[in-house]
């Protein structure tokens, strides 16, 4: 399958943000999607296909990832959210449904908080507003291990968090693709992104979100478990929560049809 051509937007601080555009920019249904930590825009290829030909999908490379620039840290979740706004600006989109998985879901939350008028809806997949009291030390430890021992030292840990045993057995091509993307990451940017997630706490602002919101989480997700998704649902007025059976942390790759349906319901 040929690689989707990339386009570039310029953020407020001059950082170039790469994105793939699926469909026609002028389509009425518009989606901006942000991948999980250490992935890239290709994370959304199967979901974009499920969204159909009448949808326009901008799949970003978050700053520090993929083909986007990798400026020095520290990184802030609010900056990542503003990068999404820069992509909307480049496309001439006033509003879009913004979705994200894991890290990308946290970015989507920040977008909904900072850019409410531009948020047509929020799709939050396997994500959280806060990783807990020990998060700064936990995420620093993960980033430091990657620096000291190499990203390959985290692969076994990541694989079992990403996917169920059955999915890894039945879809080795998807697993291998994710591993290749993961191992290609820029080390300083990975460390700074880990620190950003460790220091993130958006709980106090969740009640400000007014956009229609759909929350999905894998039943077996132990990176951002069901309790974290429930906390989001409790805090965001009018949101809905769906627990996907036999799914772990990267549910958009295990359940692209269900994730696409949740996004289409917001468009």
Instruction: Encode pLDDT of 86-142 as tens digits.
Output: 999 999 999 999 999 999 999 999 999 999 999 999 999 999 999 999 999 999 999
Please name the residues in contact with 49: beta carbons below 8 A apart, sequence gap of 6 or more: 22, 256
Structure tokens at 111: 């977008």
pLDDT at 28: 94
Structure tokens at 212: 């229609």
The pair of three-digit structure tokens given for residue 55, joined into one six-digit string: 């949808």
pLDDT higher than threshold 50 for residue 1? no
Q: Which of 127, 123, 61, 62 is nearest to 97 (CA)?
A: 123
- Cα–Cα distances in angstroms (integers) from residue 14 to residues 4, 34, 70, 79, in the given order: 24, 19, 11, 12
Whole-structure pTM value: 0.97
Residue 134's contacts (CB-CB under 8 Å, 6 or more residues apart) are none
Directed axis angle between helix 77-91 and helix 103-114, to 10°? 70
Note the pLDDT tens digit of each residue in 54-85.
Answer: 999 999 999 999 999 999 999 999 999 999 99
Q: How many CA atoms, within 13 angstroms, populate the side-chain half-sphere of residue 61?
A: 27
């Amino acid at each position: 399958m040929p690689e989707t051509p990339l386009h570039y937007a310029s953020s407020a601080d001059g950082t170039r943000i790469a994105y793939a555009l699926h469909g026609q920019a002028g389509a009425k249904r518009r989606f901006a999607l942000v991948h999980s930590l250490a992935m890239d825009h290709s994370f959304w290829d199967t979901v974009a296909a499920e969204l159909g030909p009448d949808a326009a999908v901008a799949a970003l490379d978050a700053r520090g990832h993929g083909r986007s620039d990798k400026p020095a840290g520290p990184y802030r979740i609010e900056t990542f959210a503003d990068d999404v706004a820069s992509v909307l600006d480049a496309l001439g989109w006033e509003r879009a449904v913004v979705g994200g998985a894991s890290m990308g879901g946290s970015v989507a939350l920040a977008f909904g908080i900072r850019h409410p008028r531009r948020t047509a809806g929020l799709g939050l997949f396997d994500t959280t507003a806060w990783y807990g009291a020990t998060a700064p030390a936990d995420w620093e430890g993960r980033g430091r291990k990657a620096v000291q021992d190499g990203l390959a030292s985290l692969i076994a840990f990541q694989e079992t968090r990403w996917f169920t045993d059955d999915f890894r057995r039945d879809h080795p091509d998807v697993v291998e693709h994710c591993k290749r993307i993961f191992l290609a990451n820029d080390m300083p940017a990975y460390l700074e992104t880990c620190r950003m997630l460790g220091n993130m706490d958006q709980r106090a602002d969740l009640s400000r979100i007014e956009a229609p919101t759909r929350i999905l989480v894998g039943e077996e997700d132990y990176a951002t478990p069901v309790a974290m998704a429930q906390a989001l649902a409790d805090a965001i007025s009018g949101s809905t929560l769906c627990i996907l059976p036999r799914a772990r942390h990267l549910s958009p790759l295990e359940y692209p049809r269900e994730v696409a349906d949740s996004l289409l319901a917001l468009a």
